[in-house]
Amino acid sequence: MKKIALVALFAGVLVVTAIADWPAGGGYQLRWGALTNGGTEGDERMAPSGLRVSDNLGNSSFTTDSFLTGGTFINRPGFRKVDWDERYPFTTVNDLGPDTISSAPNFPISWGGADTTTEDGIGWGVRFYDIQYRMNAGSWEDWHIQTVLGSDVFGPYVPDTVWEDSTYYFRCRAYDLPGNVEPWPTAPEYQAWARWEQQTLEWVVVNQLDSNDWTIEDTLTFGYTATMEGGDLFIVKNNGTVAIDMGIKGYPATGWDLEQYAGIDRYALRGRFNDDPTPPVSFELADAVYDSGFTWATGRATDPDTLYGPGGWSIEGATADSVDRTENMWLQLRIPTEVSTWTPTQVIRMDLKAKAATP
């Protein structure tokens, strides 16, 4: 966000006068002398359209979000600065999660954006959104144009008929208050997808002892790291009709917080999906389990930011070979380095969740 100072020249009152004769369909120009931090007046500057006047030189607060358009005279006391926003906002269509594959012919679609950039900081804000959809490999169709809505239900008949076993893709772009327009996304062209089909998400997870517990019976010292051995690993088996991705969520334990790294009164948990019969040589930060919500495995071996991989994603359905429909899940527990209260037995809870895999 560029901030240019306007200096008052007439008894503490700044007068910004719009050009009286406006060109048809055009904008206007506002000219001012720029001040550096040292107070030296610089070259005359010309602003693009879409401005707002702010108060208190050096302060990001503002007196108006209105455009300086029309024949308006802006009279403000003291020093002024003009902020302008030349960068477009960023938007996303929210992932539907477990509802991506729907058992009903309608999808709850939501979207949002932010007008903040690394280069300029906070912009003026989002004014409108455009939302488009596409069925399978068809052409993009308009759903909402310059809307202020943040969500809507797609289907079963509006804005289009939802057909079973067809995939619907969604994308969004935004306009900010000065009129900068975000380009449509590319590679991929969509931001979320959904499909209606008669589907069965059914899966089980057990370990080699046919249970869902990992019992560590040793007496553990502060800062100890416990890693699953071959007989402890959990096996995820997909018994459903569609491929699934796995998500993991952790929880605080008695007197212990769950964090990225172990420390005083905090423990850390790592998870890894693969087909290997032996534990991973090491666990990384990308394997960290969080209690803020489910983190979904991305699993792509070529991605340096892979989460819980190389496995855990696109686990094939019941008709696939046993190797393709199962996944090994390894865990590592990192004990706190110090605790305020010690309990003889500690229970660590972790939840697994499945959602239909991205096609």
Q: Inform me whether the pLDDT recorded for 79 exceeds 60.
A: no
Q: Inform me whether the pLDDT recorded for 46 exceeds 60.
A: no
* C-alpha angle 97-359-202 in degrees, rounded to nearest 5: 60
Q: Inform me whether the pLDDT recorded for 47 exceeds 80.
A: no
3-state secondary structure of 99: helix
Q: In the prediction, which pLDDT does 302 show? A: 55
Q: Judge contact between 77 and 56, C-beta under 8 A.
A: no
Residues 6+ apart with CB under 8 A from 315: 203, 236, 238, 243, 244, 245, 246, 324, 325, 326, 327, 357
Q: In the prediction, which pLDDT does 118 show? A: 63
> How many distinct helices (H) and strands (E) make up the chain?
1, 26
Q: Inform me whether the pLDDT recorded for 24 exceeds 90.
A: no
pTM exceeds cut of 0.85? no
Instruction: Note whether 90-196 and 203-356 share their fold.
Output: yes
Instruction: Find the mean pLDDT for residues 46-70.
Output: 40
> Which tens digit of pLDDT belongs to each residue from 80-124?
444 556 778 999 999 888 778 887 889 999 999 998 766 666 777
> Which tens digit of pLDDT belongs to each residue from 118-166?
666 677 788 899 999 999 999 999 999 999 999 999 999 999 999 988 9
Q: Judge contact between 172 and 113, C-beta under 8 A.
A: yes
Cis omega (within 30 of 0) for bond into 277: no
As a whole number of angstroms, the distance between CA 282 and CA 270 comes to 10
Q: Judge contact between 146 and 130, C-beta under 8 A.
A: yes
Return the closest-CA partner of residue 104 out of 143, 155, 152, 151: 155
Q: In the prediction, which pLDDT does 81 show? A: 45
Q: Which fold, 90-196?
A: Immunoglobulin-like (2.60.40)
> Which tens digit of pLDDT belongs to each residue from 193-251?
998 876 667 888 877 666 667 888 777 788 999 999 888 888 999 998 888 899 999 99
Q: In the prediction, which pLDDT does 16 show? A: 38
* pLDDT band for position 73 (cuts 50, 70, 90): very low
Query: Which H or E run contains 129?
Result: strand 126-135
Q: Which regions of 148-265 does DSSP assign to beta strands (E)?
A: 151-154, 167-176, 192-196, 203-207, 225-227, 234-238, 244-250, 257-258
Q: Judge contact between 183 and 132, C-beta under 8 A.
A: no
3-state secondary structure of 176: strand
Please write down the long-range contacts of 136-140, taking CB distance under 8 Å and 24 or more positions apart: 136/166, 136/167, 140/171, 140/189
Q: Per the structure block, which two tokens stand in for 255?
A: 């007197």
Instruction: Find the mean pLDDT for residues 329-357.
Output: 89
Q: In the prediction, which pLDDT does 241 show? A: 83
Q: Which fold, 203-356?
A: Immunoglobulin-like (2.60.40)
> Which tens digit of pLDDT belongs to each residue from 279-329?
999 999 999 999 998 899 987 655 666 889 888 888 998 888 888 899 999
Q: Judge contact between 93 and 80, C-beta under 8 A.
A: no
Q: Per the structure block, which two tokens stand in for 138?
A: 């068809």
Domain ranges within the chain, ordered by starting residue? 2-84, 90-196, 203-356
